[in-house]
Amino acid sequence: MTARCNNICVDCRDPYALAGFWAQVFGCLREARPGDSEVILRPEGDPVLLFLAVPEDKTVKNRLHLDLEPTDRTRAQEVARLIEIGATHVADHTRPDGSGWIVLADPEGNEFCVLRSAAERLQRD
C-alpha cells in the first residue's frame, strides 16, 4: 500500500488573511469567507494548501517549509514581489555561482525559500 499527500496544512492565527498572502504568491483564489477557521488554496499543479486556525503563535523555526521556484521572473524579482505583498527577508544563502536560496517569512512568520528560476539555472549551468 501507498499514500498520497491530500493537503499541506498550515497552522495559523488568521487563516483567511494568511491564505490571502499565499493566494497572491500562487495566483489562485481562497476557498472560504472571512472568519472561517479553515481556508483552502488550490494552486495549479501544486498540492492543496489548507490553512487552519490555532490559538498559539509560531515560536520556533519551521520543521517543514516550502521551496518556491519563480516561473516567469528571476529570483531577485520574485523576492521583491513577495516582500511587496507582505513577506519579510530572513536570510540570504545565495552562493557566488548564483546557486543557493533566499529565506523569507510569510506574515505570520513561517519561513520559506526562494530558489533560482529554471532560466537562471540554465544560464549558470
At residue 40, the pLDDT reads 97
Domain ranges of the chain: 1-57, 64-125
**Angstrom distances, CA of residue 54 to CA of 33, 65, 69, 92:** 17, 18, 29, 30
At residue 124, the pLDDT reads 67
The CATH number for 1-57, chosen from 3.30.200.20, 3.10.180.10, 3.30.499.10, 3.30.1060.10, is: 3.10.180.10
Residue 30 · residue 80 · CB < 8 Å: no
Residue 79 · residue 70 · CB < 8 Å: no
Please check whether the two domains, 1-57 and 64-125, share a CATH topology. yes
Q: Give dist(CA 6, CA 50) in Å, integer.
A: 10
Grid cell, residue 111, equals 519561513
Could you report the average pLDDT of every consecutive run of 10 residues in the chain (125 residues)? 89 96 97 93 93 92 92 96 98 94 97 94 77
Q: Which fold has domain 64-125?
A: 2,3-Dihydroxybiphenyl 1,2-Dioxygenase; domain 1 (3.10.180)
- What is the strand order of the sheet 111-114 is part of? 67-68, 111-114, 102-105, 88-92
At residue 3, the pLDDT reads 84
